[in-house]
Amino acid sequence: MMSNERHASSNPTSPQENDAMFLDILHEAPLFGHRKPRSIVGGVFYCFILAGYAILAAAAPWIFQPLGHLVLPLLCSCDVVLLIVTGIFQQYHVYQVQKIRLQGYYSFSQKLKHIVRLPFAITAYGTAGMILVMVWEPYIRILSTSTILRIIMLVEAVCSGFFMSVYIGYVYQYNSLDSQPDVLKSLYSPLQPSSPLEDLRYHDGGRLSDQQMALLQYQRENLHFLSEEILRLQECLSKYEGSNDGSTPQVDLAHLLAARDQELRTVSAEMNQLQSELRLARSLIADTEAEVQCVRTTNNQYVEENERLRAILGEWSTRAAKLERALEVERMSNLELQKKISTFRNQTCTSSTESSEQRGA
């Protein structure tokens, strides 16, 4: 479908386009001159649906007043319908984001890739909340069940509308761009030697594979586009060669066809080089992971050795404490023994003195 759109956009419809049909296109980004803006009609229409959904949630008591006993089932049914509609619009917006990625605008596609899935996630969470409210209805005493369901519906509408507005803003910014695809910046790979001209280089190895894959997809689209151009030029060349007009610019057509063929070969060579760089990058990442694993293993060994040394140190500390206690007990025993010895000596001296006195008397 993308190639059909480019082919339809490249078909001449006026004499001015016929004159400019053989003008050269950008060497690095052949698709840049044929970039088509993305439509925001789907996003705006979905915002109108959310606005109607919010109005329905706010005015439900008055809208469903004749059906008083069916208010809760109708609110839940409206939420389920919104969930289905959101899923349909999500598929459409994902398709639009894929087109932006194939056009070579990687940064926009990365931003929009997460935003387009948020409305469906919010609606799904809201539906789950409404199911919980209906299940626990007999035990809810704070607010009425209808009020809680309406609050959930309003929160869904506001959050989904906010993210859809962000999506519309990004798409509008993409449509107003006048620069080459940013995926071409990934040609400055960290695997190549640095130079002053390479201002933008990769610093995050985790995104290398994804960016290189986006570049390969963009180059594949360029190949399809250039193949269609070559076929169209061959048809023009055969048509001009079949004419008898002496002013037929056959030489210019042949030269232009050769230039397109050379450009196709150049793009193919670049794609092969990028594939080889991607394989080399993956091998480098694998080597780095192996080194990290080795460092982790060594670190674990150091941790185990540290724990073992700490256990030995603790055991030695315990033994030292036991020895200190034994030494203290021995010291106390020595003190008591010395006291007994001194007491015994005193008694001996006293008895000897008394005996000498008795002898003198």
User: When comparing pLDDT for 259 and 200, which is higher?
Assistant: 259
| Cα(86)–Cα(80) distance, integer angstroms | 10
User: When comparing pLDDT for 262 and 310, which is higher?
Assistant: 310
346 belongs to a structural domain: no
Q: Which has the minimum average pLDDT: 8-17, 115-124, 202-211, 352-361?
A: 8-17
What pLDDT score does 63 carry? 79
- The pairs formed by 20-24 with CB atoms below 8 angstroms and a separation of 24 or more are 22/252, 22/253, 22/256, 24/259
30 belongs to a structural domain: yes
Quick one: pLDDT band at residue 316, thresholds 50, 70, 90?
very high
Confidence check: pLDDT of 19 > 60: no
Confidence check: pLDDT of 167 > 80: yes
User: When comparing pLDDT for 125 and 217, which is higher?
Assistant: 125
Confidence check: pLDDT of 34 > 60: no
pLDDT (mean) for 215-232: 64
Terminal C-alpha separation, the chain: 144
Residue type, 294: C
What pLDDT score does 162 carry? 92
44 belongs to a structural domain: yes
Convert the pLDDT of each residue in 85-144 to its tens digit. 999 988 888 888 877 776 766 666 777 888 888 999 999 999 898 888 888 877 777 788
| Cα(351)–Cα(37) distance, integer angstroms | 126
By C-alpha distance, which of 123, 130, 114 is closest to 166?
114
155 exposed, middle or buried (CB, 10 Å; 0-12, 13-18, 19+)?
middle
255 belongs to a structural domain: no
Q: Which has the minimum average pLDDT: 17-21, 36-40, 56-60, 327-331?
A: 17-21
Q: How many domains does the chain have?
A: 1
Name the residue range of residue 63's domain: 21-188
Token pair listed for 301: 């060994």
Quick one: pLDDT band at residue 302, thresholds 50, 70, 90?
very high
Convert the pLDDT of each residue in 103-113 to its tens digit. 766 666 777 88
Say whether 196 sits in a helix, a strand or coil.
Answer: coil
Confidence check: pLDDT of 23 > 80: no
pLDDT (mean) for 15-20: 43
What pLDDT score does 195 carry? 44
227 belongs to a structural domain: no
Convert the pLDDT of each residue in 43-80 to its tens digit. 889 899 999 988 888 888 787 777 767 778 888 888 89
320 belongs to a structural domain: no
316 belongs to a structural domain: no
| Cα(82)–Cα(120) distance, integer angstroms | 9
27 belongs to a structural domain: yes
76 exposed, middle or buried (CB, 10 Å; 0-12, 13-18, 19+)?
middle
